[in-house]
């Protein structure tokens, strides 16, 4: 780390510490929660402000790096949010998704839902390097993912929430569980519900967390089933204009590289437009559109989010906290990796 990098880093920390020293409700800016007790590695639970004493600059450093990354590439907000999601759905929020394959270890990066799809690892690397310089062996990679996900939503215009921290990092990963646990883009309502319930999340969490698709992009190969205009997905009438736009985009192209916006109307803004799109038959993925065709109760929840975006924001923040509590390693379990890509 060179001198200019350090000067920029410490300047950002100084400014952001002033900006971020506020409480987070559903909206507003992230908080360092300096009034919370700091138990260190001995804590058996996650809670706000785990680094209040051991690394009070942690959240400001993470926010600065995420802000820089999203400014350079707005799509990165969705990518960092998705990293946290795909991590938590495989044996809990333990940063297992960040581990690289080695000669004698196979991680989760090459699993079907992740291969050539998950991105943002370099941003996490930069964040970890900054934190290791300021607070060595203190902040876990799992907590970096959780905080970066919140900051990505906030920087895209969505709600803020007080992230619970104190997780430790896994010593292993499971490609098999990544293949089996992460919901696929062609899932029906029954499959989506089952996969969420399997990890301990409820139906309302599934509907709220699906709203993450209000930002980001997807490859043509992930929504090939939508190109055929399946009436059971679109509802009473197929949105032929939307279907035609997808067919034109994906025709004579490499379906593994051509990208479509998950939300064509406000693609880089975290809002409730995703749910508006579903009611007009413009959900990009099959797993999106089935939310309004596969279950009347789910459709009513979607309609409530269309009518009141703040209800969506509140439910999304609440469900993100619930997801963040899935199977965390605490106390003496796991470790604090010094490099998120490998065990110590």
338 labelled as ligand-binding? no
Q: What is the pLDDT of residues 241-264, one digit of tens each?
A: 999 999 999 987 666 688 999 999
Over 50: is that where the pLDDT of 208 sits?
A: yes
Residue 194 in tokens: 């089952």
> Catalytic residue positions?
86
**In the prediction, which pLDDT does 2 show?**
52
**β-bridge partners, 339:** 342
Model confidence at 280, in pLDDT bands (50, 70, 90)? very high
**Domain boundaries 189-324, corresponding CATH code:** 1.10.420.10
Complete DSSP assignment for 290-321: GGGTS-HHHHHHHHHHHH-HHHHHHHHHHHHH
Average pLDDT over residues 88-117: 96
**In the prediction, which pLDDT does 48 show?**
96
Task: Kindly report the backbone phi and psi dihedral angles of residue 235, in degrees, each rounded to the nearest multiple of 5, phi listed first.
Answer: 110, -150
90 labelled as ligand-binding? yes
92 labelled as ligand-binding? yes
**In the prediction, which pLDDT does 23 show?**
41
Distance between CA atoms of residues 77 and 207, nearest Å: 20
Q: How many residues does the chain have?
A: 344
Distance between CA atoms of residues 249 and 284, nearest Å: 12
Q: What is the pLDDT of residues 138-193, one digit of tens each?
A: 999 999 999 999 999 999 999 999 999 999 999 999 999 999 999 999 999 999 99
Q: What is the pLDDT of residues 54-68, one digit of tens each?
A: 999 999 999 999 999
Where do you find CATH 1.10.520.10 in the chain? 47-181
Top CATH class of 47-181 equals: mainly alpha
Over 60: is that where the pLDDT of 299 sits?
A: yes
**β-bridge partners, 219:** 259
pTM of the predicted model, to two decimals?
0.88
Residues in Cβ contact with 266 at an 8 Å cutoff, skipping those fewer than 6 apart: 214, 273
Where do you find CATH 1.10.420.10 in the chain? 189-324
333 labelled as ligand-binding? no
């Amino acid at each position: 780390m060179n001198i200019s990098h350090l000067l920029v880093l410490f300047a950002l920390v100084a400014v952001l510490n002033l900006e971020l020293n506020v409480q987070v409700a559903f909206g507003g800016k992230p908080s360092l929660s300096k009034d919370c007790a700091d138990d260190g590695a001995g804590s058996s639970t996650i809670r706000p402000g785990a680094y209040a004493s051991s690394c009070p600059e942690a959240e400001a450093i993470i926010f600065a790096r995420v802000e820089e990354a999203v400014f350079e590439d707005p799509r990165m907000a969705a990518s960092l949010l998705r990293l946290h999601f795909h991590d938590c759905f495989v044996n809990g929020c333990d940063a297992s998704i960040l581990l690289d394959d080695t000669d004698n270890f196979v991680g989760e990066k090459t699993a079907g839902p992740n291969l050539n799809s998950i991105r943002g690892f370099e941003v996490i690397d930069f964040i970890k390097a900054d934190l290791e310089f300021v607070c060595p062996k203190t902040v876990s990679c799992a907590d970096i993912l959780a905080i970066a996900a919140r900051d990505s939503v906030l920087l895209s215009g969505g709600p803020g929430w007080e992230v619970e921290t104190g997780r430790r990092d896994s010593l292993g990963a499971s490609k098999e569980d990544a293949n089996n646990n992460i919901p696929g883009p062609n899932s029906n309502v029954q499959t989506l519900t089952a996969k969420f319930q399997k990890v301990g999340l409820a139906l309302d969490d599934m509907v709220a967390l699906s709203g993450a698709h209000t930002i980001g992009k997807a490859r043509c190969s992930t929504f090939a089933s939508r190109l055929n205009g399946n009436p059971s997905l679109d509802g009473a009438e197929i949105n032929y204009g939307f279907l035609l736009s997808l067919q034109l985009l994906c025709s004579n192209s490499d379906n593994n590289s051509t990208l479509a916006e998950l939300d064509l109307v406000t693609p880089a803004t975290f809002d409730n437009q995703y749910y508006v799109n579903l009611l007009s038959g413009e959900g990009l993925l099959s797993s999106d559109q089935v939310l309004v065709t596969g279950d009347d109760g789910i459709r009513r929840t979607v309609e409530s989010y269309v009518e009141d975006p703040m209800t969506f924001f509140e439910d999304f923040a609440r469900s993100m906290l619930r997801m963040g509590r899935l199977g965390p390693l605490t106390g003496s379990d796991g470790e604090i990796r010094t490099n998120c890509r490998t065990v110590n």
